[in-house]
Amino acid sequence: MSSSNNGTGNRNGSRNGHRPLRRGRRYSAWSLLQHGLSGADWPVTFRSHPKRDSYDVVIVGGGVHGLATAYYLAANHGIRNVAVLEKSYIGSGGSGRNTAILRSNYLTPEGVRFYDRSVKLYEHLAAELNFNVMFSQRGHLTLAHNDASLRTMRWRTEVNKLQGVDSEVIGPDEVKKLVPYLDTSSTTRYPVLGALYHPPGGIIRHDAVVWGYARGADAHGVHIHQKTEVVGIDVEGGRVTGVRTDDGHRIATPVVVNCTAGWSTLISDMAGVSMPVQTFPLQAAVTEPVKPFLDTVIVSGTLHVYVSQTDRGELVFGASVDPFASYSTRGSLEFAEGVAGHVLELMPALSKMRLLRQWAGLCDMTPDYSPIMGPTPVGGFYVDVGWGTYGFKAGPVSGEAMADCIANERPPEIISAFGLDRFEAGRLVGEKGAAAVGH
């Protein structure tokens, strides 16, 4: 792909890697004042374009992974003749349905390094994209309800510290100080014996991350085509030659990147590549807004629940995936009952709160709870899929690594363990830090 710079790839851009946003499009206190006084309309965040007949890279899926890949291809590697095809609106899949929790306190050194890079990118994302992504590093607590969890948490703490990630195990008294509403008495069904405290963890505005990457990619000349579903991928002689869309277009391209969640099997099937993936729904729910009282993220692996309070005051609840594979995103009463019961075990004071709504997103689960990233047996067909229940927090680092992988035609070290060939070869990557609870 590195050769594409002297072709159409430079049609829209300068030759250096970074191109600043055009005048008048930069958000600042000054532009806010200017627009406030003049009453003029703000320019659109990202533009629509007619489809070209060919692109250097076509990315399937306009979520955080797809848009970040497009952004870093353009910003870091100067590959700008890129299209992102999204069958609905951008961020309508997993990127807009997750519970927006970010953390890097994993169990394996590889996992910790990978997610720490993602948290670091998220920390500087607002400045880099000139877009407020509302990252709130409020601290992340994983509760231990038995000796085995406590032992694993001490293990995770040491692995984290060795990788320079801030984590420590704290006792019930300190947990109570951080979260006064939590029932830390010893008489509950699952008493809190301690917690893994991870101060850099927190929550972010997930839509803003999607919009920010879309705006950044657009500024570099990437085309974002919404309401464009891919219905076929053309493969000739073992190489990708183009994609066909539901509006009758045939786009010629030497590179197709599958950045979908939920549909990763169906898109890969079009290119004739089998995936070791099963699609499960993951449900979440949100309560009516109340005054701020919870300024950390609380996770309980034993109770399969995680809770945080948004800036609007709503409590966001998540759990583990549904008990059977499905493409259905209908909510279930079993989930609402289960999550409410588990939250009340932790915080009985919430018994009068009402659920506002619940929803589901689709998770592509792999056999080893690790993603599938990199090239496939079909030339020019790349995948960044199998993100299970932890895809959102990995968005920036995945985009950066996939862009590197496509530009240099080989997977960078940080994702080299996540190749599709590991399943038949028996080199599974066990990331138990991700498997502990579905998020």
Partner 1 sequence: MMLLPCPWCGPRNASEFRYVGETGPRPDPTTATPEQWRRHLYFHANPRGWVRESWYHRAGCRRYFAAERHTATNEVRSSGGHS
Interface with partner 1 by CB under 8 A: which residues?
263, 265-266, 274-279, 323-328, 330, 332-334, 367, 423-426
Q: Which residues in 77-111 are b (16+ Cβ under 10 Å) and which e?
A: bbbbbbbbbbbeebbebbbbbbbbbbbbbbbbebb
CB of 228 to partner 1, least distance (A): 19
User: DSSP strand E in 265-346: where?
Assistant: 278-287, 297-300, 305-309, 315-318
Q: Which is nearer to partner 1, 73 or 305 (CB)?
A: 305
Q: Which is nearer to partner 1, 151 or 330 (CB)?
A: 330
324 Cβ contact list (under 8 Å, min separation 6): 280
Q: Which is nearer to partner 1, 48 or 328 (CB)?
A: 328
Element (H, E) at 64: helix 64-77
CB of 352 to partner 1, least distance (A): 26
CB of 276 to partner 1, least distance (A): 4
Q: Which is nearer to partner 1, 147 or 334 (CB)?
A: 334
CB of 18 to partner 1, least distance (A): 40
> Please, how many CA atoms are within 13 Å of residue 197, restricted to the half-sphere of its CB?
17
CB of 246 to partner 1, least distance (A): 15
Distance separating alpha carbons of residues 19 and 104, to the nearest angstrom: 30
Q: Which is nearer to partner 1, 86 or 116 (CB)?
A: 86
* Residue 267 φ then ψ, to 5°: -70, -45
CB of 284 to partner 1, least distance (A): 19
Q: Which is nearer to partner 1, 67 or 282 (CB)?
A: 282
Instruction: Record the tokens describing residue 228, joined without a space.
Output: 């464009």
Query: Three-state SS for 55?
Result: coil
Beta carbons within 10 angstroms of residue 55's beta carbon: 28
Q: Which is nearer to partner 1, 225 or 422 (CB)?
A: 422
CB of 69 to partner 1, least distance (A): 23
Q: Which is nearer to partner 1, 75 or 435 (CB)?
A: 435
The rounded Cα 151 to chain-centroid distance in angstroms is 29
Query: Three-state SS for 116?
Result: helix
CB of 326 to partner 1, least distance (A): 5
Beta carbons within 10 angstroms of residue 233's beta carbon: 25
Instruction: Record the tokens describing residue 156, joined without a space.
Output: 């995770």
Beta carbons within 10 angstroms of residue 57's beta carbon: 28
